[in-house]
Every structure is written in C-alpha cells, then in structure tokens.
Structure 1
Amino acid sequence: MSADSMERGAAITQGVESRDVASLLKAAAHPDRLRILEVLLESRMNGLVALTITDIACRTELSRFSASRHLALLANAQLVGCAIEAAVASTGCASIASRRSKTGSSISRRR
C-alpha cells in the first residue's frame, strides 16, 4: 500500500470510530449490496435522482423483497437514503418475469 493511499484512508476515517468504519464495511460487503450501490451511483451519474424498489430489483436481477432488505441494511448504515413517497402499482420487470418463467416459478402480486 502506498503512502498516498494510506493518507487518503486516514483522512476518510479521521474522527470516525473504528467500530463505525467496520459497520460501514460490513454493510457494503455483500455482493448484492455492492451491486445496488453501483446501480444507484450509475443512476445518479445519469441524472436520475431516485429509483424505486422495482427499478433496483430489475437492474440487479434481485427480487423486490431481497432488494428491499438489502436497501434497509444500507440505509441503517447510512450509506443510502430512502424515502417512501407513495404506493404505486407497477407492471414489474420483463427480465425478471422472463427469468422466473424459465425456471417455472410464478410471480404473484398483492393488491
């Protein structure tokens, strides 16, 4: 590790308890959560301010339940911000629907 990268790391963690840093790293350490963070960063860079759970699930190929659980962990670690604005009916994602139809499982919806 170079001296420059060590200085940057020290600057990032300056004034932060090592327990806090460990919590952040633990929250981000799952491959699906890293993919969610990547999707959110890409959308921000492309001018999108917010994504729905369905958007995130479609882009990461996770179920909405899994995406929601991962987002809750990321939000608890304060790595992302979440807001509940309204319950919106959605038609879902074609790629998830087609993937599930190939495996024979069905998609059920609550109304």
Structure 2
Amino acid sequence: MLIIYFVLSRVFLFLCSFIAQKTVPYLGFFPYKELLVEYNLPSWISALANFDGIHYLLIAKQGYSQWEQAFFPLYPLLIKIVSFIIPNYLVTALLISNICFAIGVFIFHTYLKMISVETSRRDVS
C-alpha cells in the first residue's frame, strides 16, 4: 500500500507541474533559466529544477563557484556519481530525489508503526 501512495504522490506532483506549465504564465525570474534547455526535457519536467535545483546541477557538473557555498555537497556528489550511468544530470537528480523520498517515506512509516505499537501497549497496560 505504501508503494501505491508513493506512486500516486509522484503522479500528482508531475500532473500539477504539467497543468501549471499549461495554465500559469511563465515569467522565469531566476538565474540560469537558459541552462535548463540543454537537458532536452519537457518544460513541465525541467520546471522541477528551478531556483536552487539548477545550482545543484551546476555544482554536480562544474564544482562550487563563488556564490554556491550554501549548498551542501552530498546531493551534487550523488548526482555526479550516478551521472556516469545516466548522463542527463536533471534526470539523475530527479531519480535521486525520488529514491530518497521513497526511502524517507518508508522510514517514517516504520517509525509511525513503532510508535503506534508502543502507544497501544502503554494504553492497554
């Protein structure tokens, strides 16, 4: 059941992005917006890399520059490593993000089950 919820959340996210790209006027007031074109993906997918996303992609490709020290290195490092298998950095980043989200949902679900069992035992005794 958990997998179904995960898939539904991702479908909902991509559907919202698709509808927003068709209905909301795009202003593109963020730095490096022209760099998203090189990934050759539909705009409703590349829109998920707006703002900070493009900085992570640039760090993964080129390393840190003058104004990017605020971004932690683990995510760009994972993008760089996985990009040897999947050369499109944006697809790689989306894949890593979704895998990490799935792992986080599983851990949170396990934690909630553990708390629920402890709460049930405490309430019964």
TM-score, normalised to structure 2's length? 0.21
TM-score (ref. length: structure 1): 0.23
More helix by share: 2
Rg (Cα) greater in structure: 2
